[in-house]
Amino acid sequence: MRLVISDLLGESFEKLNILRDGDYFIFADGRYSPCIGCFKCWLKTPGICILKDKLQRVGVLFGYADEIYIVTKNTYGSYSPQVKNIIDRSLSNSTPFFTYKNFEVHHIDRYKKKEDFLVKVFVYGDMNDLEEATFKDLLQRNAINMGCKNPVFEKIEVEK
């Protein structure tokens, strides 16, 4: 299953031609609660957020996805606030326990990933060199926590 998250809709999104039959699509419209940091998705209801909205099971979706495609506007070298909120709510994709990955401390994955698990981020909007470098570093850090070895960063042009 491929999970597609996008803050872009309409003709500009359709031109990317990334949606396939069977994909699970989440439109990052901001109509959901932010993570409240209670950690109940780790301890009380493993994998499931206690907030009852459309992102309640987003950690499970992240966990079972073979690929995650994210389409986001650059916001100071990061995801748009709407997309970041979805990523924050996927916290239950990991456990509260730690392990070493590349001599760094990271959370243990709740769900086993395939060797070729892919995270691909399509970024649009104005971006200077520092923002691009920051975003690529952020993607690399996020990919480690998602269980992806080789994330892909791609700048895209969107008609205004």
pLDDT at 102: 82
pLDDT band at 101 (very low <50, low <70, confident <90, very high): confident
Which residue is it, tokens 């997309």? 83
> Is 149 a residue whose pLDDT tops 70?
yes
Give 155's DSSP letter: E
Identify whether the C-beta of residue 143 lies closer than 8 Å to the C-beta of residue 62: no
pLDDT band at 112 (very low <50, low <70, confident <90, very high): confident
What's the mean per-residue pLDDT of the chain? 93
The pLDDT of residue 93 is above 70: yes
pLDDT value for 160: 66
Q: What is the mean pLDDT of residues 143-153?
A: 91
pTM of the predicted model, to two decimals? 0.93
Residue type, 150: N
pLDDT at residue 115, as a whole number: 84
Domain boundaries, the chain: 2-155
* Percent of all residues in the chain with a pLDDT value above 90, rounded to a whole number: 71
Q: Rounded mean pLDDT of 15-35?
A: 93
Q: Is the pLDDT at 52 greater than 70, yes or no?
A: yes
Average pLDDT over residues 114-132: 95
pLDDT in tens, 3-14: 999 999 988 899
2-155 fold = Rossmann fold (3.40.50)
Of the candidates 129, 130, 40, 121, the one whose C-alpha atom is nearest the C-alpha of residue 87 is 121
- The closest of 62, 68, 83 to 125, measured between CA atoms, is 83
Chain centroid to CA 103: 23
